[in-house]
Structure 1
């Protein structure tokens, strides 16, 4: 049986225009906090990331933020979490987030969230055998990631990725589905 303790969460620094996104971020943070998971994220106070971190803290959870100097200078660093690690740049942030997670959750977000997902997927595709890759749980709330699912299938059909490359990718349509995988 696998136990996932350190959960890296990628999500938007905006709220999006669908209330389901903010609701999921808050409910996920609460579930991680109550479930005894260690939430690791981008370290900001803004958007979905701030909501998830606040909810995890309010539920008694442990939260670590990894934030580059550029966002500290913009006064977006979350000083009310368990631990805030200041790093020099985005490259170091992503590397630290990848190295810190036992499992990864991708909430709704924009290009930065997509970049984090791509870096994580690529890292484990290169450096880990298919059976030893951590789960990457994509929160496909209200179909936000349906185009990504189609893109992955297109890459598979055209021979740019192998079926086993997708074995650790899980498109989840609910918080319950995410938590079921984490609690295996």
Structure 2
């Protein structure tokens, strides 16, 4: 099965390093050119906007899932393939997790961390059989502190054996695309 729908979690800000934006654009372009769909947070701002614009420019299909609060702030991206408007963040995460064949966390803030954590927890509790890959895009070491925490979860017994099998740490677009293709059957 081809991993058709790739969910990308990322910041609504650009971050301090230019490499975050560059990486987001390169990744979105690579996913679009591979014929896969990107589902993301539906915004025009920060790394979210870069992901959507780069994928659309590369001829890709982009689905945004955006809560009303961001629509009211006029942050909804109206130039993508499909925009799903939802009442709140809970519904957004439900749709994104339910539709994903693979998940990627680009640099971002508390919202990105929350989405990553909810995805990991959901897959641990409800995932049956082979779980989809959850990829941490560790751009320029951004997620090194999170990786330390994940190691501590394992060492201290807060992750069961096998829980980490579907979590992948990648530092390049090529590595991410390889993880995605390696999980296809």
TM-score by length of 1: 0.97
Cα deviation digits, residues 63-85 of structure 1 (max 9, x gap): 00000000000000000000000
Q: Secondary structure at the match of 2:162?
A: helix
- d(CA) in 2 for partners of 1:38, 1:155: 32
- d(CA) in 1 for partners of 2:91, 2:101: 18
TM-score by length of 2: 0.96
Unaligned runs of 5+ in 1: none
Q: Secondary structure at the match of 2:14?
A: coil
Aligned residue for 2:88? 89
- d(CA) in 2 for partners of 1:110, 1:152: 17
Unaligned runs of 5+ in 2: none
Pairing 1:4-43 to 2, within 5 Å after superposition? 4-43=3-42
- d(CA) in 1 for partners of 2:88, 2:165: 31
- d(CA) in 2 for partners of 1:17, 1:157: 32
Cα deviation digits, residues 123-149 of structure 1 (max 9, x gap): 0000114x5111001000111111111
Compute the displacement of 1:3 (Å). Answer: 2.0
| TM superposition outliers: structure 1 runs of 4+ over 4 Å | none
Q: Secondary structure at the match of 2:84?
A: strand
Pairing 1:1-184 to 2, within 5 Å after superposition? 2-129=1-128, 131-184=129-182
Count of residues paired in the alignment: 182
Q: Secondary structure at the match of 1:7?
A: strand
- d(CA) in 1 for partners of 2:168, 2:2: 17
User: Which segment is superposed worse, 166-175 or 154-163?
Assistant: 154-163
- d(CA) in 1 for partners of 2:24, 2:155: 33
- d(CA) in 2 for partners of 1:156, 1:24: 29
Supply the RMSD in Å over aligned alpha carbons.
0.9
